[in-house]
A and B are shown apart, each in its own frame.
Chain A
């Protein structure tokens, strides 16, 4: 399969705090990677670095074989409509309604009419079971609902890659099932994804490959089967912790 995203020797630190020492992996077209690692190992920072929200110190990032880590902020804008990031906390615009939040990328990047935008927004919200919350403000929603609106907003432009930052954390079982279904639908459409999670059973259900971060490096990179059968003690702690 073709590589859609490649990360090579990525190094990232904040001030004198080293987060990533040497990260390399690639994402193939249509593949979904589960990214695991203890809290604070830099999973969110890694996703943010991929789309250039964080500047990396060293290393290279390629999208469709084209280097993107050296692009300017302006040059990154079109890339970010193709690699979409669903924030860990939703990061909704809290002065705008749910509808306005999900419609925002459509108004910005498409020439659709208001009617068409409305249809698309409702369609996206339907997928995350929130089609009845159009006129609510983010502050009227629970944390889990905000997250799902964030997911709807991230997918409304039909990106090629979706970076999901713990989309199932804090959700009840039926909504976890909803999100799993969403990701399955994307996979069926051939959309690639990186799925950050602490939820091992869900990761095993929907991911093709598992990556585990440990103190700034990739401690494990293999298929779900290899993950389950691994004898590595570090990997075992994840398997037993589920």
Chain B
């Protein structure tokens, strides 16, 4: 890491913050593009539903299996519902869903905006007297802030249900006991905490993707490398910020 590359990274971070700030300003003034927002919610949220459900269920299955056998050695099978549901609700569902969306949607947004940029469509939006931030960024930002928390909550719910099945089949834990334990373990602040984290990750994914899309220059190859850039950067930022956000949430609610 040379001095120049650090300087360059600082510049990128600065530009991303400015983009975010300008987008937020657009968020609070007319015109709003509700049609475009809905389009993005469908594209981002609804079209990610099935894959989110699959990931959620599978996570629940495998976590219950691992914790079940791990804890069985110490006679701790009864703790399985609490541990599985808490880890899924607080960490696994938000993180897996966000990483999945970073891959599925982040790369898509940056490729789409990047392609519009190299074909002068962004210039056309400006030349026609309209603001690309309003037309392109705001709908994507808001859609991911809304969709991601809901997807993650759904994923957690499916994971806990998946856990219920394995707990019963493999470890003979009755469904009633499992559900009771889950309900007494998970609090409303766990759910809102997870949603809050996901809303934050949604901002990270959409802003990084839009930023990189606007920065895309050198033709078709640029579009591809931008998509890659977003997935890698967004994933790293999500994982790192997850640590600090989790710490913050624990300080606030535990």
Query: Taking beta carbons and an 8 Å cutoff, which residues of A are in contact with B?
Result: 48, 51, 53, 73-74, 77-81, 84-85, 87, 89, 91-94, 104-105, 108-109, 153
Distance to closest chain A CB from B217 (angstroms): 12
B128 adjacent to A87 (CB under 8 Å): no
B124 adjacent to A91 (CB under 8 Å): yes
Q: Which residues of B contact A109 (CB under 8 A)?
A: 129
B127 adjacent to A87 (CB under 8 Å): yes
B126 adjacent to A73 (CB under 8 Å): yes
Q: Does B130 make an interface contact (CB < 8 A)?
A: yes
A89 adjacent to B126 (CB under 8 Å): no
Distance to closest chain B CB from A126 (angstroms): 21
Give bound CA distance, A108 to B124, whole Å: 13
* With A89-B120, A91-B121, A93-B121: A80-B131 Cβ-Cβ less than 8 Å: no
Residue in B116, B124, B129 whose CB lies within 8 Å of A87:
B124
Q: Does B220 make an interface contact (CB < 8 A)?
A: no
How many A-B pairs have beta carbons closer than 8 Å: the answer is: 49
A91 adjacent to B120 (CB under 8 Å): yes
Q: Which residues of A contact B31 (CB under 8 A)?
A: 108
Q: Which of B111-136 contact A (CB under 8 A)?
A: 116, 119-121, 123-124, 126-131
Give bound CA distance, A87 to B124, whole Å: 8
Q: Which residues of B contact A104 (CB under 8 A)?
A: 128
Residue in A85, A89, A93, A94 whose CB lies within 8 Å of B127:
A85
Give bound CA distance, A104 to B127, whole Å: 12
Q: Which residues of B contact A78 (CB under 8 A)?
A: 129
A80 adjacent to B127 (CB under 8 Å): yes
Interface size class of B (residues with CB under 8 A): 10 to 19
- Name which residue of chain A comes closest to B133, CB basis: A73
Q: Which residues of B contact A51 (CB under 8 A)?
A: 127
Q: Which residues of A contact B127 (CB under 8 A)?
A: 51, 53, 80, 84-85, 87, 91
B121 adjacent to A80 (CB under 8 Å): no
Give bound CA distance, A51 to B127, whole Å: 7
Distance to closest chain B CB from A97 (angstroms): 14
Q: Which residues of A contact B121 (CB under 8 A)?
A: 91-94
Give bound CA distance, A237 to B130, whole Å: 41
Give bound CA distance, A104 to B119, whole Å: 18
Give bound CA distance, A216 to B158, whole Å: 65
Q: Which of A51, A105, A108 has the most CB of B within 10 A?
A: A108
Give bound CA distance, A77 to B119, whole Å: 21
Residue in B119, B120, B128 whose CB lies within 8 Å of A80:
B128
Distance to closest chain A CB from B218 (angstroms): 15
New contact pairs (9) apart from A53-B126, A108-B129, CB-CB < 8 Å: A77-B130, A80-B128, A84-B127, A87-B120, A94-B119, A104-B128, A108-B130, A109-B129, A153-B128
Give bound CA distance, A74 to B132, whole Å: 11
- Name which residue of chain B comes closest to A80, CB basis: B129
A74 adjacent to B131 (CB under 8 Å): yes
Interface string of B134-152 (1 = CB under 8 A from A): 0000000000000000000
Give bound CA distance, A84 to B116, whole Å: 20
A91 adjacent to B129 (CB under 8 Å): no
